[in-house]
Structure 1
């Protein structure tokens, strides 16, 4: 005999549970585990938050915002407040639900433009051993970057941008051998950048991306980063100090972009060589960098944007090959730089 007391559970839960039991199931029908986790997720938020497709079929792969399924198991979720690749727009009010941690086959979570979503990243998410991508963008999710993320051994991309995260980056993120894209832009992170980050990167991974723009990070850039095959590294708008010359090198094949502007970096640029093959953009502006610009920069094979404004550089600006600087602002406010596009050297 099956008894349900309406006062003990919500009407939504009762309706969806009966639907789950009553509808005929095919081989692609949602698993019981995933069905229950999604119902719990839905009930975290106020009524009418989700489209009618949520719960309209036993096959959860047909529900709105379920962007990936395999053999009736949920693999990908996308929640956005704007229409995005035909994903239903949602406006989530509340905290991040721990119930998503019960979707054991999940490989991707994407949450965009949810300013009314707040609170901590739930510890229950540490169970998501298949998770490869986490992208939480433009929310009010707060608290520290959880150290339990290091338990997500399949994680490849971690994007927690435009949130209210604070505290230090956990060194344990460096334990993740597959993690090669890390982005925590526009948060309130403090402390130093862990030297362990990317330290165990699988040798089969050809490049890494790091974006820590606009935080409150201090101290030196880890020397260990000189061995990381960076493609993009963006650390501007922090309070970083010391040397950054080891990020460069003539033979670094992956490096495309380096942005270090508006820090307190101080090193001699004179003998710094620039990657020849792929580099396109270097921004070192508003630091305390001294010396001169190496003539070797004219060897680069693509047009390169070099911005060194507001430093302590001297000497003639090189010119030749693909390096033909035209904007004087990129070189302004230095100690004694000269030559086109600045006034001629005396």
Structure 2
């Protein structure tokens, strides 16, 4: 009897264990199936995904709402394997983020049965094959990022059913074929569109110009698009940067709307394009655009009936003696005027020397420069902003008090740098200086770099004039009490240039390739300036891109900016370890693999910004977007 009771208790205990093991709900089973499809998990990110749990809501990377899985976020964990179709059974799943892993294989069609998905991020894996037609099931989808994979095939027509889509990134894949007509008519909420580095061909659809909600960049670069540029692209918002580089586009560049005032960098790599802003003129431009006014008629141009416009009937012309007298009188007049000017200048110079020697007041130097004032609210034009700078053509005399007011926020210079006066929002006045020996953590550095990039984007795109800072350097980047970056000294570089303060090529020998920089010859601030800024009079926004790239290198490496580009390039060529390139304080900070990848990303962006060819440099809009897409240092 005792033996039978013992056997019964053993069977009961075994059945209880089976009940516990099989208690995981359906969503947990679907996620566990995903775990089983993973071949390698070196960071053990799925270690607490246990089949014995009742629900997966306590698992790593899983977010639940009312005991239903709504989010899966496993980025940058070096997971390798394939994507299990079981995830498509998660009916309440809204966000799936598997970016920067090592997943491969085709995308399962059952994945797109998760119709509640709002964001699907598979960036930076090795998925291949075409996109399944079932992608059109995701009618709630707002963000789709399949960039940096091996996907192929054509642009899926079914995607046009995802009418809530705001962010679409197919860049760096193997897509081909023509873009379907209907993107502009169906995806009207689209704000970001990245299709670069594929093999898309054919003509660019006209209806892309209907995407009125676009912001940032429309990137169609490095494809096989041919034909002419649709004039409808000019209907896009003016702040949208249209990148059409490295395609097979031909014909004149339309000069309307968002296409106006774009530099040549947006169109390089298309040998068949012509017209402004390129230097390649269109041969038939005069035929395509006949002049609206009468053409210029040269002297003695024959008119109808054999008449000409050279002489009036009966006019005999001047004799040789008369012409000689006129020439002689002109020469004498010029000599007299030159003598008078020389005499006046000598008197003026002598008076200045006498006043300086006698210690009289008013012996200051005079400089010719451009003056600006802030526009008053009652004098603003329709398109002007409240703080627009208005150029003053008239001569203006400033007294000492006015000049002191202009520099009122600079308290002085000490051994620790410039000290500024700062007034906080609550009226509290502080004296601030550059931080001393306490290096900023990486997350704070990245925040500042992103803020500066956004400021430059606003400066470059805030008006059709396309402003250029021209003198970006660390001392012109101020930080408030919240560590928000503020760009200062905008326009002062232009004033210094007019006043003769620009370093000449004789003192600033700096070429992008095979160059050398000596700290004994070149001041540190000159290393932030683009090399072509010394030779080219007209300012370019690429000057700011170069300066910003130098700041990126300085922040990441912690080294002096002098000859920094060549040093980093040499380290890359010699495959030096990352510990020899990055700032020592950042290495000691040891923020993990995520921050390390952010630093590498910033380093790559910096090298693009300081490229030897200005035409291949990215725009600040591209740079800002790239920084925003880096993995965040803090969740």
Counterpart for residue 79 of structure 1: 74
Counterpart for residue 217 of structure 1: 200
Counterpart for residue 85 of structure 2: 98
* Residues in 2 aligned to 1:50 and 1:324: alpha-carbon distance in whole angstroms: 44
TM-score of the superposed pair, with normalisation by structure 2: 0.40
Counterpart for residue 42 of structure 1: 35
Choose the corresponding residue for 1:300, options 464, 487, 509.
464
Residue 220 of structure 1 deviates from its aligned partner by 0.8
Counterpart for residue 223 of structure 2: 238
CA contact (8 A) 1:121 1:141 kept: yes
Choose the corresponding residue for 1:291, options 256, 275, 300.
275
* Residues in 2 aligned to 1:129 and 1:197: alpha-carbon distance in whole angstroms: 21
CA contact (8 A) 2:184 2:209 kept: no
Residue 270 of structure 1 deviates from its aligned partner by 5.9
**SS of equivalent to 2:110:** helix
* Residues in 2 aligned to 1:51 and 1:43: alpha-carbon distance in whole angstroms: 10
* Residues in 1 aligned to 2:46 and 2:542: alpha-carbon distance in whole angstroms: 53
Listed one character per residue, the Cα deviations across residues 137-188 of structure 1 (whole Å, up to 9, x for unaligned) are: 1211111022210111111111111111111111221122111221111111
Counterpart for residue 70 of structure 1: 65
Larger Rg: 2
**SS of equivalent to 1:162:** coil
Residue 243 of structure 1 deviates from its aligned partner by 2.3
* Residues in 1 aligned to 2:93 and 2:45: alpha-carbon distance in whole angstroms: 20
Counterpart for residue 166 of structure 1: 152
Counterpart for residue 113 of structure 1: 100
Residue 95 of structure 1 deviates from its aligned partner by 1.6
CA contact (8 A) 1:245 1:272 kept: no
* Residues in 1 aligned to 2:248 and 2:39: alpha-carbon distance in whole angstroms: 47
* Residues in 2 aligned to 1:259 and 1:34: alpha-carbon distance in whole angstroms: 43
Counterpart for residue 366 of structure 2: none
Residue 112 of structure 1 deviates from its aligned partner by 1.7
Counterpart for residue 185 of structure 1: 171
**SS of equivalent to 2:29:** helix
Q: Which runs of 4+ in 1 moved over 6 A?
A: 14-17, 279-282, 322-325
**Corresponding residue pairs, total:** 280
Which segments of 5 or more consecutive residues in structure 2 lack a partner in the other structure?
A: 1-15, 279-460, 470-536, 547-611, 617-635
CA contact (8 A) 1:171 1:197 kept: no
* Residues in 1 aligned to 2:236 and 2:139: alpha-carbon distance in whole angstroms: 28
Residue 215 of structure 1 deviates from its aligned partner by 0.8
**SS of equivalent to 2:145:** strand
CA contact (8 A) 2:40 2:79 kept: no
Residue 33 of structure 1 deviates from its aligned partner by 2.5
Residue 216 of structure 1 deviates from its aligned partner by 1.1
* Residues in 2 aligned to 1:281 and 1:63: alpha-carbon distance in whole angstroms: 52
* Residues in 1 aligned to 2:28 and 2:252: alpha-carbon distance in whole angstroms: 59
The structure carrying a bigger strand percent of its residues is 1
**SS of equivalent to 2:172:** coil
The structure with higher relative contact order (CA 8 Å, sep 6+) is 1
Listed one character per residue, the Cα deviations across residues 106-139 of structure 1 (whole Å, up to 9, x for unaligned) are: 1111112222x21111111221110011111121
* Residues in 1 aligned to 2:37 and 2:180: alpha-carbon distance in whole angstroms: 35
* Residues in 1 aligned to 2:211 and 2:197: alpha-carbon distance in whole angstroms: 22
Residue 43 of structure 1 deviates from its aligned partner by 2.1
Choose the corresponding residue for 1:264, options 241, 244, 248.
248
CA contact (8 A) 1:136 1:161 kept: yes
Choose the corresponding residue for 1:253, options 216, 237, 244.
237
* Residues in 1 aligned to 2:263 and 2:274: alpha-carbon distance in whole angstroms: 22
**SS of equivalent to 2:26:** helix
* Residues in 2 aligned to 1:130 and 1:38: alpha-carbon distance in whole angstroms: 17
The structure carrying a bigger helix percent of its residues is 2
> Structure 1 pair 172/199, CA: closer, same or farther in 2 (3 Å)?
farther
* Residues in 2 aligned to 1:139 and 1:290: alpha-carbon distance in whole angstroms: 39
Q: CA RMSD in A?
A: 3.7
**SS of equivalent to 1:185:** coil
Residue 329 of structure 1 deviates from its aligned partner by 5.0
